[in-house]
Amino acid sequence: MGQGRQQISRDDRAEEHAAPLREAWYYACPSARLKPGQMRAKVMLGEPLLIGRDADGSVFALRDICPHRGMPLSAGRFDAGQIECCYHGWRFDTAGRCTLIPALVAGQSFPLQRVRLQSYPTHEVQGNIWVFFGTDPAAAPPVPVLEGLADATPRLVETVAFAAAIDHAVVGLMDPAHGPFVHRAWWWRSRRSIHAKAKAFAPAPWGFAMTRHAPSANSRGYRLLGGSPETEIVFRLPAVRIEHIRSGRHAVCNLTAITPIDNQTSEINHCIYWTAPWLSALKPLLRPYVRAFLHQDRRIMERQRQGLRWNPPLMLIDDADTQAKWYYRLKREYRRARAESRPFENPIEPRTLRWRS
């Protein structure tokens, strides 16, 4: 009995650790997919959200459940100012306040101000919309702003849903050793091109960075840029990867943001920015490559899920899986720091990692 109870509390703890971090901004959608007067339903962190843009262009996010009888408000109407529930016509403003209950007759007093939808902070920058989950956005890792791109918007965004919980999605996307096995393609690299690599890492705000270096000689795709490209890859909490490739006066930037949809599904948004105008001409060629790449990851994680169903113990080896270990460490420290109301202390030390890929 006692042992059974202990087992349960250990499982609870594992579940709690695997849960997505709260007190964090998560990627919701590209700005371009939300025009003024539009609203869309989206589940994030297991919560039903309604994300909309009013007539002035401001973005808002509300709980997508009518407090009257549970109807998704996204099934109703939005006139770019107010949302009307499709069931009994209750109306709400974009801050979530109830403004009208049509069933009330004159003289019936009902405290409308007591009816309120939960509202989530939103932030829109560089062509992307982010939503905050928690109570104190000021103390959270800020929404990433890509250096040197001012108010650019992504030239290409690819959105893919993965059948993987957030941790497996993050670890899978950062994993340096799966490339030659999962992303085999004539235009990228092959299994035969595996070689030993050594990359220098350093702590970075809310995460770590693979410091500026020349990309692998076996990454043929980078050669398109010309010159002698240099790349820097940053990971930061809760689940953002930024790759900056610079070559001469041009830059290409990949922002990959992972959003937990529920505890079985994650959504990857891969946003590509570039400054070289001629790259835009290549866009129709680029998109299928990006898509193929992400779907290779999607398929491998779907297969992995078949194995994970049996809840096997997992291994993280040095150095190939050290970034995964760092991710777990960062997540743990962030959670502890918030629980203890103290500043986050980055647990990462500078280090060179070596692996073959």
Calculate the CA dihedral of residues 137, 23, 64, 38 and round it to 10 degrees: 50
Instruction: Look up residue 354 and give its two tokens.
Output: 């070596």
Pick out residues in 12-41 that bind ligand FES (CB under 6 A): none
Give least dist CB 77 to ligand FES, A.
Answer: 12
DSSP letter at 110? -
Residue 249, strand partner residues: none
List of E strands, the chain: 24-30, 39-44, 47-53, 59-63, 77-78, 82-84, 91-93, 98-100, 119-120, 122-125, 128-133, 156-162, 196-204, 207-213, 230-236, 240-247, 250-262, 265-274, 351-356
In the complex, minimum distance from the CB of residue 85 to ligand FES, in angstroms, rounded to a whole number: 3
Residue closer to ligand FES (CB basis): 98 or 255: 98
Q: Which residues bind Fe ion (CB under 5 A)?
A: 297
Q: How many Cβ atoms are within 10 Å of 258's Cβ, its own excluded?
A: 25
By CB under 6 A, residue 85 contacts ligand FES: yes
Per CB under 6 A, 98 contacts ligand FES? no
Using CB distances below 5 to 8 A depending on partner kind, what does residue 66 bind out of Fe ion, ligand FES, none? ligand FES
- Choosing from 27, 60, 78, 90, the residue that interacts with ligand FES (CB under 6 A) is 90
Out of ligand FES, Fe ion, none, what residue 71 binds, judged by CB under 5 to 8 A for its kind, is ligand FES
**Phi-psi sector, 200: left (phi>0), alpha (psi -120 to 50), beta:** beta
- Which of 66, 239, 258, 279 binds ligand FES (CB under 6 A)? It is 66
Closer CB to ligand FES, residue 33 or residue 68? Answer: 68
**Closest approach of Cβ 317 to Fe ion, in Å?**
18
- Which residues of the shown chain bind ligand FES in the complex (CB under 6 A)? 66, 68-69, 71, 85, 87-88, 90
